[in-house]
């Protein structure tokens, strides 16, 4: 009795001539995951730098100019998101050229919806947090709390927009 062919198990069909060996398929999956991890880490670095920009602008707008958390976050996040996408598209996802402007417009439209949602959440969180701390600390903590969800979503949409969207 011969051992089952792992290529059949993976695909549900009999292997054909020219099919890659099962070990090579596993190696390809590892390469794809390694590339995805490298891209995510590079994106996280760029996003981290742009988050600092976003954060500084938010503090200047809300604490320096007295703007509401919602309005300040809309402005600071839009500037940071456009910067992060442009840099990531060119250097992380290796996309650029004439189509970048259309992709940036799409990404900023998506991001506007995310920023509106995040700004609304911040607008709800800040007064609630102010029951335990001053306004500056409440703004900072609210921003920190919403950032991880936004970063993961922005990576997924940014990658798909830069690599797959045909505009």
Lowest average pLDDT, out of 41-45, 118-122, 134-138, 161-165, goes to: 161-165
pLDDT in the model for residue 55: 85
Per-residue b or e along 105-131, where b marks 16 or more CB atoms closer than 10 Å to that residue's CB: eebeebbeebbeebbebbeebbeebee
pLDDT in the model for residue 128: 92
Distance, in Å, from the CA atom of 84 to the CA atom of 150, rounded to the nearest integer, reads 13
Predicted confidence band of residue 129 (pLDDT cuts 50, 70, 90)? very high
The answer to whether 15 and 5 are in contact (CB under 8 A) is: yes
In a domain, 104, yes or no: yes
In a domain, 25, yes or no: yes
In a domain, 7, yes or no: no
Structural domain that includes position 58: 21-163
Is the predicted pLDDT of residue 26 greater than 60, yes or no? yes
Rounded to an integer, the average pLDDT of 79-91 is: 86
Q: How far separated are the first and last CA of the chain, in Å rounded? A: 54
In a domain, 138, yes or no: yes
Q: Where are the alpha helices (DSSP H) in 18-134?
A: 22-59, 69-91, 100-129
Helix (H, G, I), strand (E, B) or coil at 33: helix
How many structural domains comprise the chain?
A: 1
Q: What is the dihedral of CA 91, 97, 102, 103, to 10 degrees?
A: -20
- Please give the structure tokens belonging to residue 20: 């890659």
Lowest average pLDDT, out of 50-54, 63-67, 102-106, goes to: 102-106
In a domain, 11, yes or no: no
- Per the confidence metrics, is the pTM higher than 0.95? no
pLDDT in the model for residue 158: 84
In a domain, 14, yes or no: no
In a domain, 5, yes or no: no
- Please give the structure tokens belonging to residue 165: 């969207």
In a domain, 53, yes or no: yes
């Amino acid at each position: 009795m011969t051992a089952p062919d792992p290529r059949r198990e993976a695909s549900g069909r009999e292997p054909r001539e020219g099919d890659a060996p099962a070990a090579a398929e596993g190696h390809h999956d590892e390469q794809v995951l390694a590339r995805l991890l490298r891209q995510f880490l590079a994106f996280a670095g760029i996003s981290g730098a742009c988050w600092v920009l976003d954060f500084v602008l938010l503090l200047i707008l809300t604490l320096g100019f007295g703007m509401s958390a919602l309005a300040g976050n809309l402005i600071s996040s839009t500037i940071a998101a456009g910067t992060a996408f442009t840099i990531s598209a060119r250097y992380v996802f290796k996309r650029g050229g004439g189509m970048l402007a259309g992709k940036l417009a799409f990404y900023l439209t998506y991001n506007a919806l995310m920023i509106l949602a995040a700004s609304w959440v911040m607008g709800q969180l800040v007064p609630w947090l102010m029951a335990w701390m001053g306004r500056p600390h409440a703004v900072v903590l609210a921003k920190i709390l919403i950032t991880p969800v936004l970063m993961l979503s922005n990576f997924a949409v940014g990658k798909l927009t830069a690599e797959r969207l045909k505009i």
